[in-house]
């Protein structure tokens, strides 16, 4: 009778592999966004940029960052009980500006870490480029509630 020789698995290696797989998928998605925009002629880029309220330069920069570049804003709004969809419908330019600021923020990793570990800690107000706007939106929301 042969002795069983089970393969040992390590949770850390599984999480590393999953994280690497997610990173590769994310990079592929960013690459697809960039290539789709590069396939457009300059007139089409100007039209798209105008439609979404950005300059052609800002549109290209946003495409380089990928579709989830402002995810922290949506997460922060959820923690603050602010409706991102409602804001996008009622104040589209405000939402676009906030997304643009979040997308290009230099504290994204810190923000993501704090959102996952201590979402209610007010420390985010010290580095978030949208802190003032989010505070105003939260106070306006409290007035209408």
Q: Residue ranges of the domains in the chain? A: 16-67, 69-145
pLDDT value at residue 9? 55
Q: Give the span between the Cα atoms of 85 and 76, in whole angstroms.
A: 13
Instruction: Write the pLDDT tens digit of every residue in 11-59.
Output: 656 677 777 787 778 777 777 777 787 888 889 989 888 887 778 888 8
Quote the mean pLDDT of the chain.
Answer: 84
Phi/psi at 6 (nearest 5 deg)? Answer: -65, 145
Q: In 10 A of CB 67, how many CB atoms?
A: 13
Percentage of the chain lying above the pLDDT 90 cut: 42
pLDDT value at residue 117? 94
Instruction: Write the pLDDT tens digit of every residue in 110-120.
Output: 999 999 999 99
Percentage of the chain lying above the pLDDT 70 cut: 90
Q: Name the residue with higher pLDDT: 94 or 25.
A: 94
| pTM (predicted TM-score) | 0.68
**Band of the pLDDT at 73, cuts 50, 70, 90?**
very high
């Amino acid at each position: 009778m042969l002795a069983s020789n089970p393969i040992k698995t390590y949770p850390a290696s599984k999480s590393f592999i999953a994280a690497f797989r997610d990173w590769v998928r994310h990079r592929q998605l960013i690459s697809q966004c960039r290539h789709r925009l590069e396939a457009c002629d300059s007139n089409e880029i100007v039209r798209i940029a105008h439609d979404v309220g950005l300059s052609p330069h800002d549109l290209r920069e946003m495409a380089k960052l990928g579709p989830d570049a402002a995810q922290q804003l949506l997460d922060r709004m959820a923690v603050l009980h602010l409706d991102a969809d409602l804001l996008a419908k009622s104040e589209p330019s405000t939402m676009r500006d906030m997304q643009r600021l979040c997308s290009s923020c230099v504290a994204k990793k810190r923000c993501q870490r704090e959102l996952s570990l201590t979402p209610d800690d007010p420390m985010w107000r010290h580095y978030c480029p949208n802190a003032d706007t989010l505070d105003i939106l939260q106070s306006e929301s409290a007035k209408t509630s």
